[in-house]
Amino acid sequence: MRNSLATLLIASMPFAALAVTPQTAVLDVKNLTCNLCPVTVKKSLEHVSGVSQARIDFEKKTATVTFDADKTTVAALVKATTDAGFPSTVRK
């Protein structure tokens, strides 16, 4: 009877309760020199599997990225911007 109750409770849990909490990283991005540069950086980050949001601040030269740490890493985010011509580092 106890296993049946546990199984029922787990089965009735919403899938969101099982989801991983998203991570956020702020990257300092170099070479942002024109108004189109942030578009390229944003697209490069959005193509990384697991990225749910990328916000680029042209004035501060930063990218704030929300991602699923089970699907990608901060190193992959840095690689994506660097490969697009915009080297970045993690803001401490």
Query: Domains in the chain and their CATH numbers?
Result: 20-90 (3.30.70.100)
Distance CA 20, CA 52 (A): 13
The percentage of the chain sitting over the pLDDT mark of 70, rounded to a whole number, equals 78
Residue 21 has what pLDDT?
84
Look up the pTM and report it. 0.78
Region 37-41: mean pLDDT is 97
Q: Sorting pLDDT into bands at 50, 70 and 90, what band is 1?
A: very low
DSSP 45-76: HHTSTTEEEEEEETTTTEEEEEE-TTT--HHH
For residue 15, pLDDT over 90 is answered with no
Q: Is residue 37 within 8 Å of residue 70, measured between CB atoms?
A: no
For residue 18, pLDDT over 60 is answered with no
